[in-house]
Structure 1
Amino acid sequence: MDSSKFSRRLRQLAGLLATSAVWVMPLVATAPAHADTIDQRNELIAHFINDMHADPLVADCAAHGSFVASTSTVVDHVDFPPEAFDSAHAEITPWHQPFDEGKQRTTVDNIVTVEGQGIPRETSHEPYPLKFRCGYVGTQMLAFTWNDPVPPLKAHTERPSKKSKRRHGGGRATGHTSKSAVKHSGTKKKKSSAKSGAKH
């Protein structure tokens, strides 16, 4: 009796260990990759400071920008020419106000700007002139933007489609007719959802 209870508990423990191993393995697999990224970033910062005489904040901003740009669909990697880190090309501007007027309204003490060349994935394409802008409080980066070459292209293709829909939508319809059309479409949607709810 005791031996059967003991063997049952052993089986339960083995099952729990097997289940936990399934959940733990992905975490173990991702941890070294994250550590590698941090190590690579730190190595890049050290390279910019020691070999290219960059200010530590400028080096940090450039390293962050380099990693962000490498995730782009069109940029393979970023090159920083030797003059990229001198005072004529890289700037540290005292700010003491929100980083921008958009989503990143956090107040920062300094804004760092640094420029580099985005080497394209397509070898036939010209390099992209990239500009990275980083907001800092002390040595901590709290905000970041860059002139990603991809979003402007997407926005350009979306805008004509919206305008064309407006132009071909209903000619010279008045505000009254457009409102009534919205009301009718709204009531149809409510009725159809009510019917589907009744069926279920």
Structure 2
Amino acid sequence: MDSYKISRRVRQFARRLTACAAFMLPLLAASEARADLIDQRNEMIAHFVDDMHADPLVADCAAHGNFVASTSTVIDHVDFPPAAFNSAHAAITPWNQPFDEGKQRVTVENVVTVEGQGIARNTQHEPYPLKFRCGYVGTQMLAFSWNDPVPALKPHKERSTKKGKGHHRGKSAIKHSTSRKKSSSKASAKH
């Protein structure tokens, strides 16, 4: 009987170990892929700074823009010509206010803008002129925007259904409903 308990425990341990391995393998693969992306991004920043004489913040913004644009359904990759990092196509502007009035209202110290060319997946299409905008506090990017050639889908508002009597909502509806009950009970008390 003791050997039965031991073999049962070994099987339970093996099942748990297998479940743990099945859980950990995708995490390990994801962390390796993330490390590869970070290495690629760092290499791109170094290339922009060392070979194209870009300011480190401009290079960081361009590398981030390249990554984001590569997730687009219409852009294959982004090219930054040699002039992309000169003052006519890239700028660091002191900001000290919210990045934008939308979802990214975070206050940033500097706004970096840089231009590039989005090379289309469809080889028959002209390159897309892209403008990346990044908000920084120190060297940390806190906000990002770009002129995506494929605008994000906006959630549509559901149409309100016609409300009949008795379908009131909110505090005023409750007050209205209770005041009707009180007045009808007073009227029935008078009869």
TM interval, short-chain normalised: 0.7 to 0.9
Encode CA deviations 1:16-74: one digit per residue, 9 max, x unaligned: 10111111111122111111111100000000000000000000000000010011011
Encode CA deviations 1:55-102: one digit per residue, 9 max, x unaligned: 000000000000100110111100011011012221000000100000
Q: How many angstroms apart in 2 are the aligned matches of 1:185 and 1:128?
A: 54
Assess, with a 3 A threshold, how the Cα gap between structure 1 residues 183 and 84 changes in structure 2: closer, same or farther.
Answer: same
3-state DSSP of counterpart to 2:118: strand
User: What pairs up with 1:20-169 in 2 under 5 angstroms?
Assistant: 20-151=20-151
Following TM superposition, by how much is the alpha carbon of 1:184 offset from its aligned partner in structure 2, in angstroms?
Answer: 3.9
Encode CA deviations 1:135-190: one digit per residue, 9 max, x unaligned: 000000000000000017x67xx99xx9xxx9xxxxxxxxxxxx9x7114996xxx
User: Equivalent residue for 2:162?
Assistant: 182
Letter in 2 for 1:74: V
RMSD: 2.4
Of stretches 36-45 and 16-25 in structure 1, the one that deviates more from structure 2 is 16-25
- In structure 1, the gaps of 5 or more residues are 167-178, 188-200
User: Equivalent residue for 1:169?
Assistant: none
Q: How many angstroms apart in 2 are the aligned matches of 1:135 and 1:126?
A: 29
Q: How many angstroms apart in 2 are the aligned matches of 1:186 and 1:76?
A: 56
Letter in 2 for 1:131: K
3-state DSSP of counterpart to 1:182: coil
Q: Work out which of the two has the higher radius of gyration on C-alpha atoms and give 1 or 2.
A: 2
Q: How many angstroms apart in 1 are the aligned matches of 2:149 and 2:129?
A: 9
Q: How many angstroms apart in 1 are the aligned matches of 2:85 and 2:46?
A: 13
Letter in 1 for 2:162: V
TM-score (norm 1): 0.77
Q: How many angstroms apart in 1 are the aligned matches of 2:61 and 2:35?
A: 19
Assess, with a 3 A threshold, how the Cα gap between structure 1 residues 186 and 29 changes in structure 2: closer, same or farther.
Answer: farther
Q: How many angstroms apart in 1 are the aligned matches of 2:165 and 2:41?
A: 54
TM-score (norm 2): 0.80
Q: How many angstroms apart in 2 are the aligned matches of 1:150 and 1:185?
A: 44
Q: How many residues align?
A: 166
Assess, with a 3 A threshold, how the Cα gap between structure 1 residues 185 and 102 changes in structure 2: closer, same or farther.
Answer: farther
State the identity as a percent.
72
Q: How many angstroms apart in 1 are the aligned matches of 2:10 and 2:76?
A: 53
Encode CA deviations 1:115-150: one digit per residue, 9 max, x unaligned: 000001111111100000000000000000000000
Letter in 2 for 1:63: A
